[in-house]
C-alpha cells in the first residue's frame, strides 16, 4: 500500500493492488492435504439435499479436521439465494461466536456456494472460507469463480462481492446420483467455455458426453475416466484463465448477457434454470454471430447439433413474452457501464463482442432461432 500527499491540491491518494489468490484442488479422497492451514474452528453450511445423501462422508471430513465444528444444513436453490438466507447464516455465525480465526466451509450447488460465500464476504469484514461444489455446474463454474452473488429485488445476482474461497476442493463422487437434468445444467457452462475458447473441449463434448453422463463423471471405464478428467480440467483451466483476467469484458460472459432476467419471475411463465437460460442466450448469440458473418451457417448448425446432443434447449416460449428480450438488453446495459458487451462466437473456439444490437434485431434473431429449432432432428 502506498500513500502520497499532493500538497498543491491538499489531497491524499492511497493505493493498493488487489491480490487474487486462491487454490482449486481435485480431491480423490475427502480429506484435506497437509499443506492446508488448519483453522481454529469450522462452520459448515451444507445444502440440505447433499447433507441427507452424503452425511457420513461430510461428518467424517469435518471430524478429521480435529477442531470444533458446527453444521448448518440449508434448503438451497434459486429461491433461497437471497438476503433472508444470508441473514440466517450471519445470525448462526454470531450465535456461535465465530470470530475471525475460523473457516466457513460451504458444501453444495452453485446457489448454496454463492449464498454462503456472500455471507462470508461481509461477516466481520470478510471471513476466510472454503468450498466443496456438489453439482457439475458448481464444479466447473460457480464453484471456481472469484465472485459470489445473490439475488435481490427480482434482480438476478444483483448483489456481488469478489471474495473467492481460499481453498476449493473438487470431489467428483459428490456427483454420484445427481439428477440427469442437473448434469444438463452443467453441460451448458462447459459448452460456453468450449465455444468461446477451446475447440478441443467442443470436440470432446461432441463425442464423449454420453459416456461421461452415463458414468456420472466417475470414470468407471478407462474411456470414461479420460473423458471426464479431460473435460473437467479443460473447462476449469479455461474458466480460471478468463475469470482472473482484468478488465471487463471477458469472453466467458458468453450466454450471460440477455439471460439473467429469464431466471427470475418476470412473466407468468416459470423462470428458467441457470443452464437452460444460459444456453438460450448462447443460441440467440449464435444466430446474431451468423447474421454478422462471424460464424458460417455450417458452424452454426454444428453448434446447434452439439446443444441438442447435450439435451439443451434451443428455443423456449419465454423468449416471445413481451419484455423478455428487452429486459435482457436493459439489464446488461445497466450493469455493464452503459454498453451491452454481448459475447458472440467468432468461429468455434474464439469470440468477439457486439454493442450495437437493438430490440428489433433481437426479435428477428428469436424468430430465426425458432424456425431453426423446429427444423432440426
**Residue among 144, 148, 163, 161 nearest 23 (CA):** 144
Q: How many other CB atoms sit within 10 Å of the CB of residue 81?
A: 23
* Cβ 110 to ligand NAD shortest distance, Å: 2
Question: Cell for 179?
Answer: 439428477
Residue 191 touches ligand NAD, criterion: CB under 6 A: no
Among 59, 92, 147, 368, interactor with ligand NAD by CB under 6 A: 147
The answer to whether the bond into 67 is cis (omega within 30° of 0) is: no
- Part of the chain binding ligand NAD (CB under 6 A), chosen from 176-184, 282-290, 348-356, 364-372: 176-184
Contact string (CB under 6 A) for ligand NAD, positions 194-233, x = contact: ----------------------------------------
Q: Is 251 strand, coil or helix?
A: helix
Query: In sequence order, which residues have a C-beta less than 8 Å from that of residue 318 and are 6 or more positions away?
Result: 262, 267, 269, 272, 324
| Chosen residue from 78, 335, 361, 368 binding ligand NAD by CB under 6 A | 78
Q: What is d(CA 283, CA 325) in angstroms, rounded to the nearest whole number? A: 13
Contact 262, 280 (CB under 8 A): yes
The distance of closest approach from Cβ of residue 53 to ligand NAD in the complex, given in angstroms and rounded to an integer, is: 6
For residues 113 and 137, the answer to whether their CB atoms sit within 8 Å is no
Q: Cβ of residue 25: shortest distance to ligand NAD, in angstroms?
A: 19
Nearer to ligand NAD, 169 or 294 (CB): 169
User: What pairing do the DSSP bridges indicate for beta strands 42-47 and 129-133?
Assistant: unpaired
Least gap, CB of 146 to ligand NAD (angstroms): 8
Query: What distance in Å separates the CA atoms of residue 283 and residue 301, rounded to the nearest whole number?
Result: 11
Taking the complex as a whole, how short is the minimal distance between the CB of residue 189 and ligand NAD, in angstroms?
Answer: 6
- Helix%, strand%, coil% for the chain, nearest 5: 50, 15, 35
Q: Which of residues 265-324 bind ligand NAD (CB under 6 A)?
A: 274
Q: Which is nearer to ligand NAD, 141 or 215 (CB)?
A: 141
Contact code string over 105-144 relative to ligand NAD, x by CB under 6 A: ---xxxxx-x-------------------xx-xx--xx--
Nearer to ligand NAD, 135 or 250 (CB): 135
Q: Write down the least CB distance from residue 147 to ligand NAD, Å.
A: 5
Q: In angstroms, what is the minimal distance from the CB of 116 to ligand NAD?
A: 11
State the Cα–Cα distance between residues 322 and 359, nearest whole angstrom. 11
Q: Which residues of 184-201 are buried (b: 16+ CB within 10 A; e: fewer)?
A: bbbbbbbbbbbbbbbeeb
177 vs 293 by CB, closer to ligand NAD: 177
Binding mask 58-77 for ligand NAD (x = CB under 6 A): ------------------xx
Binder of ligand NAD out of 85, 157, 253, 299 (CB under 6 A)? 157
β-bridge pairing 103-108 and 42-47: parallel
Contacts of 206 (CB under 8 A, 6+ apart): 305, 306, 309
Task: Give yes or no for a cis peptide into 249 (omega within 30° of 0).
Answer: yes
We find the least distance from the C-beta atom of residue 87 to ligand NAD, in angstroms, to be 18
Under the rule (CB under 6 A), what is the footprint of ligand NAD?
47, 49-50, 53, 76-78, 81, 108-112, 114, 134-135, 137-138, 141-142, 145, 147-149, 157, 174, 177-178, 182, 185, 274
Amino acid at each position: 500500500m502506498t500513500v502520497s500527499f499532493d500538497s498543491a491540491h491538499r489531497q491524499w491518494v492511497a493505493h493498493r493492488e488487489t491480490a487474487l489468490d486462491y487454490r482449486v484442488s481435485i480431491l480423490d479422497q475427502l480429506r484435506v492435504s497437509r499443506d492446508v492451514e488448519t483453522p481454529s474452528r469450522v462452520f459448515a453450511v451444507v445444502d440440505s439435499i447433499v447433507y441427507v445423501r452424503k452425511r457420513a462422508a461430510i461428518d467424517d471430513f469435518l471430524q478429521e479436521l480435529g477442531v470444533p465444528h458446527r453444521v448448518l444444513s440449508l434448503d438451497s436453490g434459486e429461491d433461497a439465494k437471497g438476503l433472508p438466507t444470508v441473514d440466517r447464516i450471519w445470525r448462526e455465525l454470531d450465535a456461535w461466536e465465530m470470530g475471525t480465526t475460523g473457516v466457513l466451509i460451504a458444501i453444495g450447488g452453485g446457489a448454496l456456494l454463492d449464498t454462503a460465500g456472500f455471507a462470508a464476504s461481509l461477516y466481520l469484514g470478510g471471513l476466510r472460507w472454503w468450498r466443496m461444489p456438489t453439482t457439475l455446474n458448481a464444479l466447473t463454474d460457480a464453484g471456481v469463480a472469484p465472485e459470489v452473488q445473490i439475488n435481490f429485488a427480482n434482480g438476478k445476482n444483483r448483489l456481488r462481492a469478489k471474495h473467492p474461497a481460499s481453498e476449493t476442493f473438487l470431489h467428483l463422487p459428490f456427483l454420484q446420483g445427481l439428477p440427469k437434468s442437473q448434469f444438463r445444467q452443467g453441460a451448458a457452462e462447459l459448452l460456453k467455455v468450449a465455444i468461446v475458447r477451446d475447440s478441443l473441449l467442443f470436440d470432446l463434448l461432441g463425442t464423449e458426453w454420453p459416456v461421461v453422463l452415463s458414468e456420472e463423471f466417475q470414470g468407471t471405464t478407462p474411456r470414461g475416466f479420460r473423458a471426464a478428467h479431460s473435460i473437467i480440467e479443460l473447462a476449469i483451466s479455461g474458466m480460471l484463465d478468463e475469470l482472473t483476467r482484468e478488465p471487463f469484458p471477458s469472453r466467458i460472459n458468453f450466454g450471460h448477457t440477455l439471460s439473467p432476467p429469464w431466471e427470475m419471475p418476470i412473466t407468468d411463465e416459470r423462470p428458467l434454470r441457470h443452464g437452460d437460460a444460459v444456453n438460450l442466450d448462447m443460441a440467440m448469440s449464435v444466430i446474431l454471430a451468423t447474421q454478422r458473418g462471424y460464424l458460417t451457417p455450417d458452424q452454426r448448425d454444428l453448434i446447434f447439433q452439439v446443444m441438442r446432443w447435450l439435451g439443451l434447449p434451443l428455443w423456449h416460449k419465454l423468449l416471445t413474452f413481451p419484455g423478455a428480450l428487452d429486459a435482457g438488453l436493459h439489464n446488461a446495459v445497466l450493469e455493464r457501464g452503459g454498453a451491452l458487451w454481448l459475447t458472440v462466437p467468432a468461429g468455434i473456439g474464439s469470440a468477439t463482442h457486439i454493442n450495437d444490437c437493438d430490440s428489433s434485431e433481437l426479435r428477428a434473431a428469436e424468430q430465426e432461432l425458432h424456425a431453426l429449432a423446429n427444423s432440426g432432428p
